[in-house]
Structure 1
Amino acid sequence: MGRVWLRTFCHPTPTTVSHAFVIGSTVGGLSERIGTFLINDDTTTFTDLRQKIEVFNDNGMNRRTAMYQDLLHLMATGSNPHEYEGKKIMKYRFGVIEGIGGQELGDTNFTRDYDKSLVPRLIDSEVESEPIKEVVGNLLELDILLVPVSQIRPQDGSVTAQIWQDTFETEEEKMKRTVDHINEIDLTKYSPEKIQAANNPSREEEENAMELAESGEFK
C-alpha cells in the first residue's frame, strides 16, 4: 500500500480584480495539504484517484465528497486569466512540483517557503489510466497537485497567468525569414545533370518499353 497527499494550485488573483474582503481567501499559489488517500502502489491509477476525490458511497448512493465541493468552489471563484467559460472552467488536471512533498518536519512549511516562481508540471491526460507510481515515481517525495484548467493557457498548455500574445513580424523580419527559408533549400537536386537524368530515360527503361511494345502490352 502507498499514500498520496493532495494540494491545489492556483495563480494569485490580482488585487485589481478582487474585492478587498475576499483577497485573503483567494491569494492563490500552493495550498496546504487538503487530503490524503491510501492507494495500491501497483494498480491505483489517476483515473481511480479522480473517483476517490469526487465521489463517495453513502448507503448505496453516490455523492460528491466535501473535498470535491471545495475544489468546485475554487474552480468557480479562483483566478481565470485565460477567460474560460461555462463547463470548461469546471475541470482540473493533475500535476507535481519537484521538491514539494514528503515528510513535513520541524518548521518546514512548503506553502510559505517554496520558490513562488515554480509552477506545476502537468500529468499528461493520456497516462491517467496508468498506475500513479509508474508515472510520478516516489510518492513519499512528491505531493499530487490539483490544477484547475483555468490556470492553463489553452494555446500551448502551459501553467501560466501570462496571456497569449500573437507574434507580430515587421516587414524586415518577414523578409529575413523568407531568405533563411530559401537558403535552406537543397539546390543540388536542380543541377543540369540531375534534371537531364530525370527527363531522359535510362537504357534499361528504353529496353523495357520496347519489350512491352513488341509484346502488345504497351499501348
Structure 2
Amino acid sequence: MKRNLEIKELFLKHFEKPVTELKFSNLYELLVCVMLSAQCTDKRVNLITPDLFKAYPDIKSLANANLSSLKTYIQTCSFFNNKAQNLIKMAKAVCENFDGEIPLDEQNLKSLAGVGQKTAHVVLIEWCGANFMAVDTHVFRVSHRLGLSKAKTPEATEEDLTRIFKDNLNYLHQAMVLFGRYTCKAKKPLCKECFLNHLCKSKDKELK
C-alpha cells in the first residue's frame, strides 16, 4: 500500500539508523537494561545501572547475588521485587544452561526468566541488528494512531507491522519508539510539528 510505504520511508529518513537510549557496554548489560526497562523509562534505568553494574559487573556475579542486596540497587524501578528475582534466575540459567554465555537466538533467550518476546527482540535488534519488530507502549500507540494496526495486543500489532514493513524492522522499531516518546506522545502529542501529519488517521481527533 502506497501510504504505508511512505510512512516507512519517512520514518527511515527522519531517524537514520536509530539506536536505543539505554546505556550499556556489553551484551550482559544490554539484557539487564532491557529487562529493567519493562514498564519503566529508559531515563530511570540509566540512573540505576551505573551502581548496579559496579556491584554486579558480569553474569556470574549477578547469579550469585543476594536478593535483598540486589533489590536495594533497583528499588526505584517499577516492579523491582519481581525484576530482582527474575534477574537472578536469568543469570543462574545462563551460567547453568549456556556456559555463562547469553544466547543470541530468540527461543533460548525466551527460555530465560523475565525474558518475553519483546525483550528478546529488543536485545537481538540492538546487539545483532536482527530484522525484528518489538512493540512497547510507544510503538503500540503510534501504530494505532497511524492506522497501521487495529490489533488488541502487542503481539498481534507486531505481526501487522512485520507484514506491512517487511524489512528494516530493527530501525523502524527504534524510530517508532523515539517518535512516540518525543513527538507522538501519549498526552498532548506534537501534531503540528509531526512529519507524518498528512498521513495520520488520528490528526483530526482530540488527542490530549
With normalisation by structure 2, the TM-score equals 0.26
User: Normalized per residue, which structure has more helix?
Assistant: 2
User: Normalized per residue, which structure has more strand?
Assistant: 1
With normalisation by structure 1, the TM-score equals 0.25
